[in-house]
Structure 1
Amino acid sequence: MLKKLKGFIGLTAFILLVSSFFGSSVMAATVGEPLLAAEQGWHRIDDKDSRIVYSGNQWTTTTGPQFYGNSLHYLPNNPTNSSQTVKFSFYGTQLRIISTLYQDYTSNLLITIDGVDYAPVSVTGPSVQINQALVFEVADLVSKEHTVQIKSTDTKRWVLDAIDIDDTGYLINPNLASPILKAEPVVSKIDLSWNTVNGATSYNVKRSLSADGPYETIATVNSTNYSDSNVTEGTTYYYKITAVNSVGEGASSNEVSASLLIIRERALLTITLNTGLEKEFDLSMPQVNAFINWYETKASGNGPVMFAVDKGKNNIGPFKSRKDYIIFDRILTFEVNEYVPTTTE
């Protein structure tokens, strides 16, 4: 029995060791070490992607199987502090920069996200290049669109091989303008409309229950309007639109918010008594329907002899409430004139 137990413990330790080994190589990337593929929860974008903008006149490319996607962008020399930059925008919460470590590369790579500078990143390495190295990581960004700039603050070289972002995020297409969005609440739906964006082949309609998101794509349309009927009374919805083409999504439109337009129909109930006296009441339709139901029930021989009409806040004066009690056998006729108020709730 003891032998079997020892064997079980040994096998368990071996499994845990193997699991730990594979877990660390697949799920625990370390800055400064190679990361040959995006980990779970991330996806990788190659340096050749057209949504990445290279500014400056010295960027060039090279190819080879040692680079991700068989290529990278590099600077053979960087003569100024700021003329050679990489810029892109993305939607998501996390970002990784994949580069090369080498002995004469910069130790002052400045990464700026949404105008905030992060501590300088070093891509200085050994005399033998370390390719596809993870050199920068941030994983606690707010779920929204972010702008990124990368540049060196000295005159040493550096390269860009790839970037990793959330597997649910995306790079923003800089060649598509942001739509200008309008929302109009109507009965039972919210109508959205926006301008045509040059180069767009479709538009993503995004909705959130809070300002600034996070947003969920609820529809993709080819037109410049959309009606959202999957809405409920009392809820405020927030919307954004992105233009889309074969390259990807553009930057989001302005954010708009809207709630359902709630129209409460009302009616003037005019009751003529057998004395010739007329009584007129401005009531909601549920109140009018309650009166009609009472009248029909009493006419069939059932129900109370009186019906109380609540005057609501009309001419309430110093009283807590005011009610008119209508006696069934005093009613000669009644008339209902429905109308829609000029103001809505």
Structure 2
Amino acid sequence: MRAFLKTILLVAVGVAVLAATLAAPLSEAKSSVGLIAARPRTITLYGSMAAPAGWGWTANNITEPGPTLTVLKGDVITFHLFSNDTITHQLIIDLDNNHLNGTGDAYSIPFSSKTTATDFTYTANTVGTFAYFCGIHGYSVQHGQLVVNGPPSAPSGLAAAAGNAQVVLTWQAPASDGGSAITSYKVYRGTTAGSETLLTTLGNVLTYTDSAVTNGQTYVYQVTATNALGESAKSSEVSATPNVPPPPGDNTLLIVGGVIGVVVVVGVAAAAMRMRKKKPGPPGP
């Protein structure tokens, strides 16, 4: 009986060890869910030159301009393209917004069927608003807008002003918010060019004072902007070296420009000594 119980105990321990071993990879696999570089999107468009001319989601709602198509950066879009009038059409994604079919644009093959879709796949890699139009009949007859939302563009105008044991940073908001309001800024700092790491995350502000610095040490900075869709690229890099200010009453004038340094010292006391009046001598006989 004792041997039987011992066997049962060993089996139970083995099952527990096996369960623990299997649990770890299952947990890791679960944590990776959602890390998708792009999401698939399907958009159906009907093109028409016959009245009504334009584009539409279906054959019954064709308008000019056509519907606004809104996607996210990284979306892989499969267009199902139909010709509502069985005339040949071609979809152009106007990436340079010049309303012409250029080499840098994305475009489908021509299509002319009202019942069989011609598929065209496009990956939305660039944030912005772009025209789409018919490459055969032209922008003025058949066009619409493709809006690609995503992270904002980088902040601009970053400047650093050094002081005593502090550096004051200022910058300007991104030119584009990526279609979603700016929620925060991140400040990156290092001590050599390209070495910046995250220093702090701020709210929607355009200035920051870094007081955790040492006088005489050069610091480099970059700033990013964040919205609900992600973080921007980093701004241009700036540097600053905090220093102790000169003592009060020092009449030294420093003019900094490249490697030029001019120091002017005015000695009023010395000039006064040279201009002392000579004492009169004794009267003559």
**Do Structure 1 and Structure 2 share a fold, with TM-score over 0.5?**
no
TM-score category of the 2 structures, normalised to the smaller one: 0.3 to 0.5
Q: Which has the higher strand share?
A: 1
Q: Give the structure-1-normalised TM-score.
A: 0.37
Q: Give the structure-2-normalised TM-score.
A: 0.43
